[in-house]
Copies of this chain bind each other. A is one copy, B any other.
Amino acid sequence: LMIDYKNLSSLFMDNGYKLTNQRHAVLNVIAENKSLHLSVEDIFQALNNKNPEIGLATVYRTIQLLEKLRLVNSINLDDGFIRYQFADPEERHQHHHLICEKCGNLADVQEDLLEELERQMMIKMKFKVRNHSLKLYGLCEKCMNNS
């Protein structure tokens, strides 16, 4: 986990929330799977091993809280689930996603390539960008070669 217990506890307390075992366990699952994009059901299943007492509603409520505290980001692939990923507090922007239309593979693009575009939005549209969501649909390397 990137954040030690003391700092984590402070983050919750300072915002008027309690750091419960359940919340800590949910965050652990997400932090231990940084490269994955987990649905709430995925997280609930992962918890069932060590913390079978945690209810699904608690996972939903916790995820909402973690997102508010900016500890997780969400991505909606329009397949019926919202997926969650650990948000490194050191990263300034939500990263981009590459979605292969053939095999369904989902890849992250860490580099922020929208800074110039966002500058243009301010000039041309008088719009101040604070966050973004970019999904690129197409063919991954493997599927490009196999077609």
Residues in A lying within 8 Å of B, measured CB to CB: 74, 76, 78, 82, 98, 100-101, 107, 109, 111, 113-114, 117-118, 120-121, 124-141, 144
Contacts and interface: CB of A to CB of B under 8 A. Distances in A.
A137 B144 contact: no
B134 A134 contact: yes
A96 to B, nearest CB: 9
Oligomer: number of copies: 2
25 contacts: A76-B78, A78-B82, A98-B121, A98-B125, A98-B127, A100-B127, A101-B131, A111-B124, A113-B117, A117-B117, A126-B140, A126-B141, A127-B138, A127-B139, A127-B141, A128-B138, A128-B144, A129-B138, A130-B137, A131-B136, A132-B134, A132-B135, A132-B137, A133-B134, A134-B134
A114 B125 CA distance: 16
A94 to B, nearest CB: 9
A57 B106 CA distance: 32
Contact of A136 (B98, B111, B124, B127): B127
Given A98-B121, A121-B136, A126-B144, 8 more contacts: A98-B127, A101-B131, A107-B125, A107-B127, A125-B141, A128-B139, A130-B137, A132-B135
